[in-house]
């Protein structure tokens, strides 16, 4: 049974994220303002994190300089506030399938940024180098197919969906205009690019200040203020800020507590047992679950183009993962040297590599601090 636990946990993680896409989409379709949703979600996540940080770090935390706080503010702005707002607006304009599919490209886009910043090496004559470039090409092709090709609409599994808002026009929900669809895909991709940039910046910050919990809490608190400013600018009618016992409140609680709280520990445990490549390889399973659940619970008519694009993005993901595993094997680095940095603003893992010289310090101290900071260079 113990040997099956990582597989069970990996599946549970994908189910959790599938629920996030479907429930968030339902809340947005019921009229929940996307920017207000992000503010409440971040506020709840911060309230969840702060007591934990105070309990675990009150005796061991060292002070943060103004420069470090400024860096964390920028990281929060890019990786949480911008990413989540772009991603949610993209979800509102498209579908959970698109959000799940584009999320599969996070590792590929992060690799591209690391390559452009000369943090990642690509040997064009090696099989791993060719696989990396093929992964990038497949991901770009997948995004273009999702954005530009709709194709036949797959009939929903359930025509009487549980979460569909009665106030929303069925035509508007199931058949967004071409311009709206392309805009939504573009915003979702921008969200992924913003997320990828955050991963690179986050790794540099953690090298300077390796306490992951305090870094995460600080960014979460900063994002609350940032999200509030964005929400006030976008929606000045405060009557729409009032929370009601409906799907919107469920989405806030689910995203703030279940996605961030439960999945954080499950991901950390799964990566510790089987490594990050194992967990990332399950991402396409989340895409399949999302297609099924959005069709059953939301009554979505999934475009064939989204399915084809998702397959291409998954192919790009596996191609880059294979290349990275080859590089890891060539360097005689075990998967346990790669750590997951859990975020409170995203739906997947960010992978940061600990170099060989830090192998002996890979374990966490009993006081909750990391003994060394991750090094940028491996995604």
What pLDDT digit, counting tens, does each position of 333-354 carry?
444 443 443 333 344 333 433 4
What digits encode the pLDDT tens for the residues 183-193?
A: 999 999 999 99
Report the predicted TM-score, pTM, of the whole model to 2 decimal places. Answer: 0.78
Is it the case that residue 369 has pLDDT exceeding 50?
A: no
What's residue 161's pLDDT?
Answer: 57
SS3 call for 153: strand
CA distance 89 to 191: 10
Distance linking the first and last C-alpha atoms of the chain: 31
CA distance 319 to 132: 6
What digits encode the pLDDT tens for the residues 100-131?
A: 999 888 888 888 888 888 777 788 888 888 99
Structure-model confidence comparison of residues 97 and 261, the more confident one: 97
251 alpha-carbon distance from chain centroid: 16
What's residue 66's pLDDT?
Answer: 94
Half-sphere exposure of residue 313: CA atoms within 13 angstroms, side-chain side: 33
CA distance 234 to 215: 28
């Amino acid at each position: 049974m113990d040997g099956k636990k990582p597989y069970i946990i990996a599946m549970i993680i994908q189910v959790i994220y599938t629920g996030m896409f479907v429930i968030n989409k339902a809340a947005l379709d019921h009229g929940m303002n996307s920017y207000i949703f992000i503010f409440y979600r971040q506020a709840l996540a911060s309230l969840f994190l702060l007591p934990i940080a105070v309990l675990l770090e009150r005796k061991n935390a060292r002070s943060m300089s103004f420069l470090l706080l400024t860096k964390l503010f920028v990281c929060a702005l890019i990786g949480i506030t911008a990413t989540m707002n772009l991603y949610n607006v993209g979800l509102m304009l498209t579908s959970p399938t698109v959000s799940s599919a584009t999320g599969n490209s996070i590792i590929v886009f992060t690799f591209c940024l690391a390559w452009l910043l000369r943090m990642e090496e690509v040997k064009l004559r090696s099989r791993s180098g060719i696989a990396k470039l093929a992964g990038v090409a497949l991901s770009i092709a997948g995004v273009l197919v999702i954005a530009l090709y709709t194709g036949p609409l797959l009939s929903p599994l359930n025509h009487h969906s549980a979460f569909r808002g009665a106030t929303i026009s069925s035509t508007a929900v199931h058949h967004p205009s071409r311009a709206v669809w392309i805009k939504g895909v573009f915003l979702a991709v921008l969200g992924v690019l913003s997320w990828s940039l955050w991963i690179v910046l986050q790794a540099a910050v953690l090298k300077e200040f390796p306490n992951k919990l305090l870094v995460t809490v600080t960014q979460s608190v900063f994002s609350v203020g940032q999200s509030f400013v964005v929400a006030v600018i976008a929606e000045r009618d405060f009557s729409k800020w009032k929370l009601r016992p409906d799907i919107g409140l469920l989405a806030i609680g689910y995203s703030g507590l279940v996605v961030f709280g439960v999945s954080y520990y499950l991901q950390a445990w799964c990566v510790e047992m089987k490594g990050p490549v194992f967990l990332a390889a399950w991402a396409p399973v989340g895409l399949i679950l999302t297609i099924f659940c959005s069709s059953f619970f939301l009554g979505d008519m999934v475009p064939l183009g989204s399915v084809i694009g998702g397959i291409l993005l998954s192919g790009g993901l596996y191609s880059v993962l294979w290349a990275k595993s080859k590089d890891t094997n060539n360097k005689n680095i075990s998967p346990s040297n790669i750590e997951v940095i859990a975020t409170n603003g995203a739906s997947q893992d960010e992978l940061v590599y600990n170099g060989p010289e830090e192998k002996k310090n890979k374990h966490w101290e009993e006081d909750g601090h990391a003994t060394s900071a991750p090094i940028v260079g491996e995604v």
